[in-house]
Amino acid sequence: MLESKGVAGKKDWEKMLPDEKRRRQGPYVVFECFQEIPCNPCEKACPRGAVGVGDDINAIPVIDYELCNGCALCVAHCPGVAIFVVDETYMPGYGKVVLPWEYLPLPEKGSTVTALARDGKPVCPAEVVEVRRAKAQDRTAVIGLKVPLEHVNEVRGMKMEGQQHGK
């Protein structure tokens, strides 16, 4: 599906997830970098050294899940908005998806938004549980959404009420 429609299908994105044991240990980062392009801000953004691009700046990043704690500092640094943090242990029946947000207005903590799939189609309602905006994030906010657990690896964007575009 990725090559024919430009949107990652389940077989594409499942390969990017850590193993099930790691997924049950708490927040984990998901890099949805599917093509080799010259890029490495994620490697420099990680204070734990969990992200590796290596000597070839075109290489797809590799995550060391032994070092990654799901802090989400890398999320806002990705110019391709292709980094997410998922927490399948957030609370019973719900997970948290942390995603980049480059639009105004910012959503408010406690508000309800429509969670979107990779193709922009609605998945489910979601509660905004976190809004991070720091100077070091270069105008990209980081938003945490509480979503039903079965949707944590489908949700990769959101739409606020009355908004014509989704991300």
Q: Please list the pLDDT of the chain residue by residue as tens digits (167 residues).
A: 555 556 667 677 777 788 899 999 999 999 988 889 999 999 999 999 999 999 999 999 999 999 999 999 999 998 889 999 999 999 999 999 999 999 999 999 999 999 999 999 999 999 999 999 977 766 899 999 999 999 999 999 999 986 554 44
Which pLDDT value is given to residue 13?
72
Task: Using the structure block, give the residue that is written with the tokens 């207005």.
Answer: 105
Q: Are 92 and 32 in contact (CB under 8 A)?
A: no
Q: What pLDDT shows up at residue 166?
A: 43
Tokens of 88: 């399948």
- pLDDT of 21: 95
pLDDT, position 153: 93
Quote the pLDDT of residue 8. Answer: 67
State residue 28 phi and psi, 5-degree precision: -140, 150
pTM confidence score: 0.87
User: Are the C-beta atoms of 128 and 113 separated by less than 8 Å?
Assistant: yes
Query: Taking the domains of the chain in order of start, what are their residue ranges?
Result: 2-159
Give the pairing type, strands 51-52 and 62-63: antiparallel
